[in-house]
Amino acid sequence: TAPLLHGKTVMITGASSGIGAAAARAFAAEGAAVVLMARRDDKLEHHARLIRESGGEALCVAGDVTESSDVQRAVDQARDTYGRLDAAFNNAGWASSGTPLHKTEDTDYDRIMDVNVRGVWNCLRAQITAMLETRTRGSIVNTSSVAGLRATGTAAPYIAAKHAVLGLTRAAADEYGPSGIRVNALVVGSTHTELMDEVLTQTPSLYEPFTSRAIQRRLADPSEIAQAALWLCSDRSSFTTGAAVPVDGGWT
């Protein structure tokens, strides 16, 4: 059988580390040309080089998802280089935790909303426009969180932002389903990445609940989240849209 993403072009944001970097490897191994976006271009180039050395195809676009012009540039480069955009994994995100709601600074609130919500918003608009223009029956996957469905600790802006990601996912799925564009979200549980290391450094007491609330009693490896994103980006999930797909080790 052909590789799952054979002939497809997939844009991945937050591809410089963690879940996004794992997705880049997994998608490229399944035949996709991957368009990698994040701010740290040295890290992007490192991952792209490894992919090319394994026989894969990768393009790097250094940029900030909160800037619509950067996101547009990534979509344009995908189309210019590979002809069209078939799928996207909108995964860039940032969290901080441990500050009670009433002590949270506006700057923190703004940054969290900007990266997690405006970032996904910028991506959806540019990607859907490109897919409609090329009449591509595309698949878009947004990274939400177990914090997108419930409160998971002292992190009000992050919890609100990940709820908003599910709202945008459902709205876009509903509007563009008739055009053949699917939009889904991953409800990601605690995963061992740079972000998790940063959160646990800020608030070490979170390690216990983050592992014990998953019935598997462990953190996920980023590659486990990447496999779910791969399925959603591929035609294997052709009748799934508007869904919040849990990849959370059984979070309770």
- Annotated catalytic residues are 158
DSSP class of 34: E
- CA gap 118, 67 in Å, rounded: 9
Q: Which two tokens stand for residue 75?
A: 């979509």
List beta partners, residue 68: none
Q: Which is nearer to ligand NDP, 95 or 233 (CB)?
A: 95
Taking CB under 6 A as the rule, does residue 77 contact ligand NDP?
A: no
- CA gap 24, 230 in Å, rounded: 10
Binding mask 231-250 for ligand NDP (x = CB under 6 A): --------------------
Q: How far is the CB of 128 from ligand NDP (least distance, A)?
A: 19
Say if CB 234 and CB 4 are below 8 A apart: yes
Binding mask 88-127 for ligand NDP (x = CB under 6 A): ---xxxxx-------------------x------------
Residue 252 C-alpha from the chain's centroid: 23
In the chain, the DSSP E strands lie at: 9-13, 33-38, 57-62, 87-90, 139-145, 182-188, 244-247
Q: Which is nearer to ligand NDP, 3 or 104 (CB)?
A: 104
> In a 3-state reduction of DSSP, which class is residue 224?
helix
Closest among 89, 46, 119 to 226, alpha carbons compared = 89
Q: Which is nearer to ligand NDP, 85 or 206 (CB)?
A: 206
Among 5, 38, 59, 156, binds ligand NDP (CB under 6 A): 38
Among 143, 234, 237, 241, binds ligand NDP (CB under 6 A): 143
b or e along 35-61 (b: 16 or more beta carbons within 10 Å of the residue's beta carbon)?
Answer: bbbbeebebbeebbeebeeeebbbbbb
Q: Which is nearer to ligand NDP, 136 or 248 (CB)?
A: 248
Among 18, 138, 157, 249, binds ligand NDP (CB under 6 A): 18
Taking CB under 6 A as the rule, does residue 145 contact ligand NDP?
A: yes
Q: How far is the CB of 240 from ligand NDP (least distance, A)?
A: 20
Binding mask 158-197 for ligand NDP (x = CB under 6 A): ------------------------------x-xx-xxxx-
DSSP H stretches of helix in 114-193: 119-133, 156-176
Taking CB under 6 A as the rule, does residue 200 contact ligand NDP?
A: no
Binding site for ligand NDP (CB under 6 A): 13-20, 38-40, 43, 64-66, 91-95, 115, 143, 145, 188, 190-191, 193-196
